[in-house]
Amino acid sequence: MTDWQPSASLEALKTRARLLQRIRAFFLKREVLEVETPIMSSAAVTDPHIESYAVQDPQQGKLRYLHTSPEFAMKRLLAAGSGSIYQICKVFRQGEIGRQHNPEFTMLEWYRLGFDHLQLMAEVDSLLRKLLNGYLKLGETLRLTYRDAFVQYVGLDPHIASIEQLQTKANEQGIKVTGLNDVDKDPWLDLIMTHIIEPNLPRDCPVFIYDYPASQAVLARIRQDDPPVAERFELYVSGMELANGFHELTDAQEQHLRFEADNRARHAAGLKPMPIDTRFLAALEAGLPDCAGVALGFDRLVMLVAGANSIAEVLAFDAERA
Residue 159 in any domain: the answer is: no
Q: Is 142 exposed, middle or buried (0-12, 13-18, 19+ CB in 10 A)?
A: middle
Q: What is the pLDDT of residue 177?
A: 81
Q: What is the pLDDT of residue 178?
A: 78
Q: What is the pLDDT of residue 302?
A: 97
Kindly give the parts of the chain with pLDDT less than 70.
none
Residue 3 in any domain: the answer is: no
Going 117 to 118 to 124 to 128, the CA torsion angle's sign is: positive
CATH code for the domain of 18:
3.30.930.10
Q: What is the pLDDT of residue 61?
A: 77
Q: What is the pLDDT of residue 62?
A: 85
Q: Which residues form the domain of 21?
A: 10-141+205-314
Q: What is the pLDDT of residue 181?
A: 79
Residue 193 in any domain: the answer is: no
What are residue 222's DSSP bridge partners?
Answer: 230
Chain mean position to CA 145 = 17
Secondary structure of residue 184 in the 3-state scheme: coil
Compute how many other C-beta atoms are within 10 angstroms of the C-beta atom of residue 288.
21
116 HSE (CA, 13 A, CB side): 8
Task: Give the residue from 70, 117, 88 showing the smallest Cα distance to 280.
Answer: 70
- CB 234, CB 241: distance < 8 Å: yes
Residue 110 in any domain: the answer is: yes
Question: Model confidence over 64-117: pLDDT tens digits?
Answer: 999 999 999 999 999 999 999 999 999 999 988 889 999 999 999 999 999 999
Residue 180 in any domain: the answer is: no
DSSP letter for 92, please.
E
Residue 42 in any domain: the answer is: yes
- CB 221, CB 231: distance < 8 Å: yes
Residue 256 in any domain: the answer is: yes
Residue 78 in any domain: the answer is: yes
| Number of domains comprising the chain | 1
Q: How far apart are CA 265 and CA 262, in angstroms?
A: 5
